[in-house]
Amino acid sequence: MMLLEELKYRGLVNQMTDESGLTELLNKEKVSLYCGFDPTGDSLHIGHLLTIITLRRFQLEGHKPLPLVGGATGLIGDPSGKKAERTLNEQSVVEGYSDKIREQLKRFLDFDGENGAELKNNYDWISEMSVVDFLRDVGKNFSLNYMLAKDSVESRIQSGISFTEFSYMILQSYDFYHLYKEENCKLQIGGSDQWGNITAGLEFIRKMYGQDEDEKAKAFGFTIPLVTKADGTKFGKTEGGAIWLDPEKTSPYEFYQFLLNTDDNDVIKFLKFFTFLSQDDISALEKEVAERPHERAAQKRLAEELTAFVHNEGAVQQAKNISAALFGGGDLKALSADEVMQGFKDVPSFTIEEGKGLIDVLVEGGVSPSKRQAREDIKNGAVYINGDRCQEMDKSMGPEDKIDGQFTIIRRGKKKNFLVHYKG
């Protein structure tokens, strides 16, 4: 299947400029394409994955990705999709964010070989322009009427937009022109909110290369749909916040569980979006959803494929181990220390000395409100140590109670878990 047809099958094309021209270009030659990622935080989130994976799809077909970190535009702030002005970060903060995002992008694309990806940072060229050069050589090509008609600007006219954010469109347009001129980059992709910025860049390239049809620069753009769930809510948000690609912010287990909980109404769409599974494989999983939804085969495959892509195969196995121990009757004692920290990240925790009596541990850790209640809980079989019921009144916490030599998990009742650390 041709690349654009494959992208359409997967629902990844929202808007496209000159489809026939782009189809001809992609059939005729291997192109360089770029997508920008502004460093507005210290990590990308799962919403960024769709554009990253789309870059990867192009690369697998022999094209060359140019992932761009917006070291300069990140200092300005994109008004697209925002109801109010962004808070400007200090340059040192943006530089720190840029470094972290650059390292994340290196995990998802190949940087070796003939079509190896090349990381770019627009601070490298935008910072070299003087204000006069910017206004004369770049800003002169953008009429006020043209810019006001763009959704990113028009939607902010009533609430207000600063000249700083108003100029963002011009800076992104210059990025496209610079990469076209210096890297022969003929395609920009982005989220659906970037359509105005992308088409402005195409217009700028056209103006810089003249009006003659025979000499007009042939550059293209397309956008990817905003990922929403069947209920209309935004994908990638939970009560605890965004699902991050940084394992320190969202553990691989949390990432895996988020995907495992995907609704039946969304899972096939997300398999098309986020995985490299064949159409036959996806069709087979769609049949599984229709005939045996309780087995959640499609959700499991989505969680496995995407967790492996973002983290690694080891992270998938860790997530399965934790899930089995928590929900499938698996052995808590078989978990590693890292798996314990992922699976019990959000439960109450406390620290004790080895050898302390269980009754004192229950009271000091807030598991039971009093010694009398602690004794009743033990007697009634409501206390579990690493998943095993404990009814020993004179029990002391020893080395045999430690998971991976470091932790103990105490449970009271069916769901109230506590993570026990040890001094020293």
Q: Catalytic residue among 150, 237, 249, 333, which?
A: 237
State yes or no: is 404 an active-site residue: no
What is the spatial distance between Cα 313 and Cα 286, in angstroms, rounded to a whole number?
Answer: 24
DSSP notation for 260-316: HT--HHHHHHHHHHH----HHHHHHHHHHHHH-GGG-HHHHHHHHHHHHHHT-HHHH
The residue among 279, 183, 248, 211 whose CA lies nearest residue 41 is 248
Strand, helix or coil for residue 32: strand
What is the spatial distance between Cα 154 and Cα 45, in angstroms, rounded to a whole number?
Answer: 27
Cα–Cα separations (whole angstroms), residue 174 to 144, 168, 198, 294:
17, 10, 10, 51
Q: Catalytic residue among 104, 172, 199, 342, which?
A: 172
Copy the structure tokens of residue 330.
């698996």
> Which domains does the chain carry?
3-224 (3.40.50.620), 237-330 (1.10.240.10), 349-422 (3.10.290.10)
Binding residues for ATP: 237
Q: Catalytic residue among 18, 42, 99, 193, which?
A: 193
Q: Within the chain, how many helices (H) and strands (E) appear?
A: 19, 13
**C-alpha triplet 86, 92, 94: angle, nearest 5°:** 40
Binding residues: 34, 168, 172, 237
State yes or no: is 421 an active-site residue: no
State yes or no: is 234 an active-site residue: yes
Copy the structure tokens of residue 193.
């909110």
Residues constituting the chain: 424
State yes or no: is 257 an active-site residue: no
Q: Using an 8 Å Cβ cutoff, are 59 and 110 in contact? A: yes
Least confident range from 30-39, 149-158, 172-181, 199-208: namely 149-158
221: left (phi over 0), alpha (psi -120 to 50) or beta: beta
Of residues 286 and 85, more confidence is placed in 286
Q: Catalytic residue among 86, 249, 333, 402, which?
A: 86
What is the spatial distance between Cα 308 and Cα 316, in angstroms, rounded to a whole number?
Answer: 6
Tens digits of residue pLDDT in 253-271: 999 999 999 999 999 999 9
Q: Using an 8 Å Cβ cutoff, are 142 and 173 in contact? A: yes
Contacts of 155 (CB under 8 A, 6+ apart): 83
Q: What is the pLDDT of residue 319?
A: 93
pTM of the complete model beyond 0.75: yes
Q: Given the structure tokens 């992609």, which residue do they identify? A: 26
State yes or no: is 181 an active-site residue: no
Is the predicted pLDDT of residue 234 greater than 90, yes or no? no
- Determine how many CB atoms are found less than 10 A away from the CB of residue 124: 11
User: Beta strands of 182-244 (E only): which ranges?
Assistant: 185-191, 220-224, 237-238, 241-242
Strand, helix or coil for residue 355: coil
Tens digits of residue pLDDT in 105-130: 999 999 999 999 999 999 999 999 99
Is the predicted pLDDT of residue 9 greater than 70, yes or no? yes
The amino acid present at 165, given as its one-letter code, is E
| Over residues 354-380, mean pLDDT | 95
State yes or no: is 40 an active-site residue: yes
Q: Catalytic residue among 234, 287, 345, 421, which?
A: 234
Split at pLDDT 50, 70, 90, the class of 318 is: very high
Q: What is the CA radius of gyration of the chain?
A: 27
How does DSSP classify residue 104?
H
The residue among 185, 213, 209 whose CA lies nearest residue 66 is 185
State yes or no: is 172 an active-site residue: yes
State yes or no: is 45 an active-site residue: yes
Q: Catalytic residue among 10, 38, 48, 320, which?
A: 48
Q: Catalytic residue among 18, 23, 45, 57, which?
A: 45
Q: Catalytic residue among 15, 40, 91, 373, which?
A: 40
The amino acid present at 166, given as its one-letter code, is F
Tens digits of residue pLDDT in 326-351: 886 778 998 999 999 998 988 899 99
State yes or no: is 238 an active-site residue: yes
Q: What is the pLDDT of residue 355?
A: 93
State yes or no: is 51 an active-site residue: no
Contacts of 49 (CB under 8 A, 6+ apart): 245, 274, 306, 310
Tens digits of residue pLDDT in 23-40: 999 999 999 999 999 999
What sections of 209-260 are H helices per DSSP?
A: 252-260
Q: Catalytic residue among 82, 102, 218, 272, which?
A: 82
Q: What is the pLDDT of residue 239?
A: 66
Average pLDDT, the chain: 92
Instruction: Give the rounded distance of the alpha carbon of 263 from its chain centre.
Output: 19
The amino acid present at 331, given as its one-letter code, is D
What is the spatial distance between Cα 68 and Cα 121, in angstroms, rounded to a whole number?
Answer: 5
Binding residues for L-tyrosine: 34, 168, 172
